[in-house]
Structure 1
Amino acid sequence: MALFGKRIELGTLFEDVADRGHSTTVHLSRPLDIAPSMGTALDPPALARLVRVAAGWFAGAGVRPGDRVAISKRDHWDLVLLCCAAARLGAVPVPLSACLEKDVLDILLKRLDPALLVVDAARWADGRPVNSATIRTLVLDRDVDRKPGDSSVLSLDDVRGHTVPAPRRRPADDPLAILHTSGTTGVPKLVVHSTRTLLRRLVDFEAHRWPVLAARPDDVAAAAFSFAHGRALAWTAAVSALGPEKMVVITSADWDEARPPLEEHRPTIMEAQPSTFVRWRSHCRTGAFDRVRLYVSTFDAVHPPTVRTFLNATGHPRPVWLQGWGQTETGPLTFRFFTRRAMRPERGRHPTTRDLGRPVPGRTRLRVVDRETLRPVPRGTAGLLACSTKALCLDYTAERARYLRKRAGRWFITGDLGVLTRSGRLLLLDREADALPGASCVEVEDVIEDRLPGVGECVVLSVPGGPAQPVLVVEDGRLDPGRWQAAVADLPELAEPVLTTWERIPRTATGKVRRAALREHLGLAPETHGTGEWT
């Protein structure tokens, strides 16, 4: 997809949009942390100027082409703008979620060895990284205390007004950005993508004017997910290229923040991470979603009650829900459209969101292999999922052996378990590390949430040598024993459920449950039925 005759580029994205007179306005749920005086409605020329200003900050801090720039601040869309600024200099941006614990951040910074670390006051208050003596640090939103002659810590006053160099584009197969995975099972991986894999293979494809899927000139496209993850770069670039009437950026799942912009601008396309949709279920009848024609969900499994609730909340006659499956390493691998009819419970049939459709035609291929031998298994047999895609990342930073272990020629082992049906559809089971023998934790979660409407979320943890442990988010702390027994009577054996609240579940920045941390919190042994070898 060409952006008005030009290829999409990260560093000059908003300049290219502004140069062609693009009229899309970005509406924010709160002002940018790096430019609060700009308010909550920004047009492409203003965004282009801000990216150039930020590029000047980085140049003033000594950033050069090829340098890595690590960025860790409170979640907001300005993470994307700072990535654009680094890319404009020919540097390699590395957005790092502010939700990462300090010891994890230290590990990632050691692997990255960035030329510049960009933080806000909140992250700075956590304490300097253990290897900060060798990392120049720019603190965005406050003056910094430092010893005389200490040039390793900079404030914005130290770098403002620097001449902005001309845009410097990296070769198409050189690293463009490094993006971390969610980290549900431990320290996140640092995934290296190039211009070819991220922009040419993923963004260009998404920016094509596909029926139903693509934003149209009269659309209002809203997004609510972690802007420290790779999806934020892809969404921003693709939607900007398509040019909807408005883009709406929601920076928190807190309904008090999300409601005003959603009700004012009333999106027609709503993309959010599944955990955010779950948090908003009780508010979906407020009118904020009454124009939505397309919902988009990525990052994690989404369960039928959530999909059904939002499809029924819109006044559009034929809304659809796009569920994508993929990884930071690969981009989307399959997708499926869910409709109201597909989510309707019928006698003898439980609606499922585990059926994720077929591989993206002409772009991805899937195969299922035996977990021990890695040899292909027949259709209809469960096993490890491997994919083939030209959008595959280049490497894992400082973990080359791990990357090579998961790759065999053009095939890459995703670490997920699933089944390819005879017709070629993918039935997703679990992560290999969370396997439940003879069943699927995610499918059991589907059924329990569907049968017990008072359960906000269900998490099932496999337990070797014993029944699986269900954990239920029940805000009022109550669950009728009789209803529980009736709901699970035909399911695999389960232990007595643990009742908890949303806030007590350990999560990643994308809202995914940190299952290993939850196991530890519950006093369960760390061992699972999986090997964890393919995480």
Structure 2
Amino acid sequence: MAPFSRRIELGTLFEDVAERGRATTVHLSRPLDIAPGLGTALDPPAAARLVLDAAGWFAAAGAVPGDRVAIVKRNHWDLVLLCCAASRIGAVPVPLSAHLDPDVLEILLKRLDPALLVADSARAADGALTCLASRTLLLDGDTGGAGGGGTVLSLDDVRGHTAPAARRPLVDDPLVILHTSGTTGVPKLVVHSTHTLLRRLAGFEAHRWPVLASRPGDVVAGAFSFAHGRALAWTASVMALGPEKLLVVSGSGWDEARPLLERYRPTTVEAQPSTYVRWRPHVRAQDGLARTGAFDRVRLYISTFDAVHPPTVRTFLNATRRPRPIWLQGWGQSETGPLTFRFLTRRALRAERERHPTTRDLGRPVPGRSRLRVVDRDTLRPVPRGTPGLLVCATKALCLDYVGEPQRYRRKLAGKWFVTGDVGVLTRGGRLLLLDREADVLPEGSCVELEDVLEDRLPGVAECVVLGVPGGRCVPVLVTEDGRLDPALWREATADLPEFADPVVVPWDRIPRTGTGKVRRAALRERLGVTPETYGTGKWT
């Protein structure tokens, strides 16, 4: 029999897990929105029954094989379960982040033309959205508050319907449609197949690799956007490996995360960088003493989605009592999955005042899984090692297309090579030094590297965003708890750096973000009155 990791299927994931005797219990930071009566703990059979119920809802709402089912609701793990349910009946699920602006959601729904829109009442109240699907299934409340046209159904209208027999798509057919973060504009709609998402990504992670793989006694915690494709691959691979517990944190606030993490004390934690940043003040006090025991058993931290800066990594590595904890920093994209990874240790993060912190070094391509090249931004011809340029990759996990924008997808292809839109350097030894997104690039230096340095030198700054200004000085935007910054500390921290404009100091909630916590730099420029012009072309976003 083929290993379970090679046979992961989205629609029957939890049925398959239960059949193979995996005893992982899923513990939630709050009850599921679609089944609050189930409480905060589910075993695989309970999850399988809920997926089967939801598959019956979708079938009763008229969804059939091949239909696109758009799902938009507030962040929680039930987004994953609803994707499984849609896939089980042969439909193509499209999870959409509730953080998307209504006008952006409208654009994406027009591109998708879904047969069924599945939404909570907060989203369905926008009549313009419900008009963009022939049928809408409301996940909470009754249909009285839903505006717009088309048929609007409540769960009471579809409960109890028997789900049809499970259907499994061909491995190269569309399985799921995911959207990118949208940091520079309207997100792209990325089509993945069973082969690219499950066989190449989740199947690879579901092997029992040293250090990385979940062990039978592990308590695995995840805190990120469950509308992101990472949530599907993470759930599938972790459930296939069968750790003791799976902890699901649906919000980035520490008040929600703390009870769950302190009670079960995870051994591995994966979160988006912005969530680690939000948790960081609660991990250690200024005197260095631990404020919480939530992380004292962690042996492995995982960070993807966005750049993570040295102070954050250092704080969490020092929060555990394990003698040699590891921080896995991955780089990739929604279109490609992980492309490189690097292990960071306490020793690697020890030097706090260095001009070039180590987190810009993203390691090497995943052996046998991906290849990288650096090309000239104008000619797309390869450049010598050590020369900055546009990063292109080759991977068998590459998505199939962009919905509604096929020409944009083709423009980013050159044979087997795909243009990532990031700028970086490949060293002589084959390591990747990431500089910036092409749209945010500087003529010399790196916005992300300057952000590393400033965060390292200014302990009171939770986050730093550097905005390049053609013909002018870079604008630094600094996030602090009280919206204030000591001018003397600023002068000291920037004495050997390029000259900046006066810093803009703001609280956390003044920064526009995506569902994965990334800074929406274009929106931030507009909010602050900074010119929309950048040094980059934006051609490769």
Q: 1:294-343 deviations in whole A, cap 9, x for unaligned?
A: 00000000000000000000000100000000000000000000000000
Instruction: Say whether residues 1:25 and 2:25 are aligned partners.
Output: yes
Q: Deviation at 1:346?
A: 6.3
Alignment partner for residue 291 of structure 1, among 281, 292, 297? 297
- Does the aligned pair in 2 maintain the 1:207–1:214 contact within 8 Å? yes
How do 1:345-360 residues align onto structure 2 when only pairs under 5 Å count? 345=351, 350-360=356-366
**What is the DSSP-based 3-state SS (H/G/I as helix, E as strand, rest coil) of the residue aligned with 1:51?**
helix
How do 1:295-314 residues align onto structure 2 when only pairs under 5 Å count? 295-314=301-320
**What is the DSSP-based 3-state SS (H/G/I as helix, E as strand, rest coil) of the residue aligned with 2:434?**
strand
Q: Partners of 2:369 and 2:353 in 1: how far apart?
A: 37
Instruction: Say whether residues 1:152 and 2:151 are aligned partners.
Output: yes
Q: Partners of 1:75 and 1:383 in 2: how far apart?
A: 36
Counterpart of 2:271?
A: 272
Q: Deviation at 1:490?
A: 1.2
Instruction: Say whether residues 1:362 and 2:368 are aligned partners.
Output: yes
Query: What TM-score results when the alignment is normalised by the length of structure 1?
Result: 0.97
Counterpart of 1:44?
A: 44
Q: Deviation at 1:480?
A: 1.6
Task: Please say which of residues 475-484 and 245-254 is displaced more in the overlay.
Answer: 475-484
Alignment partner for residue 405 of structure 2, among 388, 399, 406? 399
State the one-letter code of the partner of 1:90: G
Q: Deviation at 1:128?
A: 3.7
Q: Deviation at 1:525?
A: 1.3
User: What's the Cα RMSD here?
Assistant: 1.4
**What is the DSSP-based 3-state SS (H/G/I as helix, E as strand, rest coil) of the residue aligned with 2:491?**
helix
- Does the aligned pair in 1 maintain the 2:422–2:436 contact within 8 Å? yes
Q: Partners of 1:211 and 1:40 in 2: how far apart?
A: 31
Counterpart of 1:481?
A: 487
Q: Partners of 1:480 and 1:51 in 2: how far apart?
A: 53
How do 1:127-526 residues align onto structure 2 when only pairs under 5 Å count? 127-129=127-129, 131-132=131-132, 134-145=133-144, 152-284=151-283, 285=290, 286-345=292-351, 350-526=356-532
Q: Partners of 1:264 and 1:471 in 2: how far apart?
A: 36
Q: Percent identity?
A: 77
State the one-letter code of the partner of 1:410: K
- Does the aligned pair in 2 maintain the 1:183–1:508 contact within 8 Å? yes
Q: Partners of 2:366 and 2:5 in 1: how far apart?
A: 26
Judging changes above 3 Å, is the alpha-carbon distance between structure 1 residues 341 and 68 closer, same or farther for their aligned structure 2 residues? same
- Does the aligned pair in 2 maintain the 1:272–1:296 contact within 8 Å? yes
How do 1:37-76 residues align onto structure 2 when only pairs under 5 Å count? 37-76=37-76
Counterpart of 1:81?
A: 81
- Does the aligned pair in 2 maintain the 1:2–1:204 contact within 8 Å? no
Q: Partners of 1:303 and 1:348 in 2: how far apart?
A: 13
State the one-letter code of the partner of 1:528: T
Aligned residues: 532
Judging changes above 3 Å, is the alpha-carbon distance between structure 1 residues 423 and 152 closer, same or farther for their aligned structure 2 residues? same
**What is the DSSP-based 3-state SS (H/G/I as helix, E as strand, rest coil) of the residue aligned with 2:535?**
coil
Query: What TM-score results when the alignment is normalised by the length of structure 2?
Result: 0.96
Q: Deviation at 1:356?
A: 0.3
**What is the DSSP-based 3-state SS (H/G/I as helix, E as strand, rest coil) of the residue aligned with 1:483?**
helix
Counterpart of 1:97?
A: 97
Counterpart of 1:125?
A: 125
Q: Partners of 2:8 and 2:84 in 1: how far apart?
A: 12
Q: Partners of 1:186 and 1:504 in 2: how far apart?
A: 18
Judging changes above 3 Å, is the alpha-carbon distance between structure 1 residues 348 and 121 closer, same or farther for their aligned structure 2 residues? closer
Long gaps (5+) in structure 2: 284-289
- Does the aligned pair in 2 maintain the 1:2–1:8 contact within 8 Å? no
Q: Deviation at 1:3?
A: 5.3
Judging changes above 3 Å, is the alpha-carbon distance between structure 1 residues 58 and 420 closer, same or farther for their aligned structure 2 residues? same
Q: 1:138-159 deviations in whole A, cap 9, x for unaligned?
A: 0011110299xx8711111111
Q: 1:322-381 deviations in whole A, cap 9, x for unaligned?
A: 000000000000000000000001675643200000000011000000000000000000
Q: Partners of 1:177 and 1:296 in 2: how far apart?
A: 24
Task: Please say which of residues 6-15 and 327-336 is displaced more in the overlay.
Answer: 6-15
State the one-letter code of the partner of 2:360: R
Judging changes above 3 Å, is the alpha-carbon distance between structure 1 residues 232 and 361 closer, same or farther for their aligned structure 2 residues? same
Judging changes above 3 Å, is the alpha-carbon distance between structure 1 residues 2 and 316 closer, same or farther for their aligned structure 2 residues? farther
Q: Partners of 1:95 and 1:287 in 2: how far apart?
A: 34
Q: Deviation at 1:4?
A: 4.2
- Does the aligned pair in 2 maintain the 1:368–1:383 contact within 8 Å? yes
Q: Deviation at 1:481?
A: 1.4
- Does the aligned pair in 2 maintain the 1:106–1:131 contact within 8 Å? no
Counterpart of 2:286?
A: none
Long gaps (5+) in structure 1: none
Task: Please say which of residues 122-131 and 520-529 is displaced more in the overlay.
Answer: 122-131
State the one-letter code of the partner of 2:59: A
- Does the aligned pair in 1 maintain the 2:356–2:449 contact within 8 Å? no
Q: 1:363-408 deviations in whole A, cap 9, x for unaligned?
A: 1000000000000000000000000000000000010000000011
- Does the aligned pair in 2 maintain the 1:12–1:84 contact within 8 Å? yes
Q: Partners of 1:131 and 1:41 in 2: how far apart?
A: 36
Q: Partners of 1:426 and 1:106 in 2: how far apart?
A: 37
Q: Partners of 2:462 and 2:246 in 1: how far apart?
A: 29
State the one-letter code of the partner of 1:337: F
Judging changes above 3 Å, is the alpha-carbon distance between structure 1 residues 372 and 324 closer, same or farther for their aligned structure 2 residues? same
- Does the aligned pair in 2 maintain the 1:416–1:431 contact within 8 Å? yes
Q: Deviation at 1:130?
A: 7.0
Q: Deviation at 1:482?
A: 1.7
Q: Partners of 1:225 and 1:3 in 2: how far apart?
A: 28
- Does the aligned pair in 2 maintain the 1:224–1:251 contact within 8 Å? yes
**What is the DSSP-based 3-state SS (H/G/I as helix, E as strand, rest coil) of the residue aligned with 1:492?**
coil
Judging changes above 3 Å, is the alpha-carbon distance between structure 1 residues 532 and 346 closer, same or farther for their aligned structure 2 residues? closer
- Does the aligned pair in 2 maintain the 1:146–1:153 contact within 8 Å? no
**What is the DSSP-based 3-state SS (H/G/I as helix, E as strand, rest coil) of the residue aligned with 1:111?**
helix
